Structures are given as structure tokens and as C-alpha cells.
Amino acid sequence: MAYLARKITRPKWESREGFAAGEIPADAVTADLRTTGNTLSFWTCEPPPDDGIRAVVLALATGADRLDRMDLVWVEEEAFRANGIALNPSARAGRRS
């Protein structure tokens, strides 16, 4: 079973004063869910704690200017398909749009 992983900024997703339970602040959506060509990129990996998630972290860290805390979210690939969300593998190894 494959998972799709994406880096997020966790504090932006945590509950805040003035928001009802389950409401998502716009900052979380606009900062962490930026799209290109109306697609959202994820990294494909095996279920945690497999080395696949470590490879995703390493790939994301090598693209950063400095080492810093990193929060990831991963979702079963099947959850996307079950909800009618199309997955399109990209030319980059390990990434999906």
C-alpha cells in the first residue's frame, strides 16, 4: 500500500481562537497547498516507518536553504482514489500530482 506525503507547516493547521472545530484557516490552505497548473504535488512512499518516508524527508531537506523542523502529512493513496481524486505521476521520480 503506497502513501502520498507532503510537507506542511503544522502550526498553521492547528485550531485557533475564532475558528470553530474543523474550520481551516486560509493561511494553511494558501501556504501549504499552493498549486501549479491546478495540481498539487505529493511524494510517493511506503507506509511509515518504512525507509520511504525517510527518503521523502531527505529529498525535501536537500532543497532547503537550511536545516529546520519539518512536518509531514501522509495519506493512503487509496483514499484519494476512493474520493474520485485523479493521481497523475509526474516525470520526477517519487512525485505525484
Q: Are strands 3-8 and 42-45 parallel, antiparallel or unpaired?
A: antiparallel
- Give the tens place of pLDDT for each residue, 57-93: 888 888 778 877 888 888 999 999 999 999 988 766 5
User: What is the model's pTM?
Assistant: 0.70
Type of residue at 26: A
Task: Give the angle subtended at the CA of 55 by the CAs of 59 and 33, to the nearest 5°.
Answer: 55
Distances in Å between the Cα of 74 and the Cα atoms of 3, 16, 65, 93 are: 6, 23, 23, 17
| Dist. CA 88–CA 97, nearest whole Å | 5
Q: Write down the pLDDT at residue 83.
A: 95
Report domain extents, the chain: 3-83
Contact status, residue 97 vs residue 90, Cβ threshold 8 Å: yes
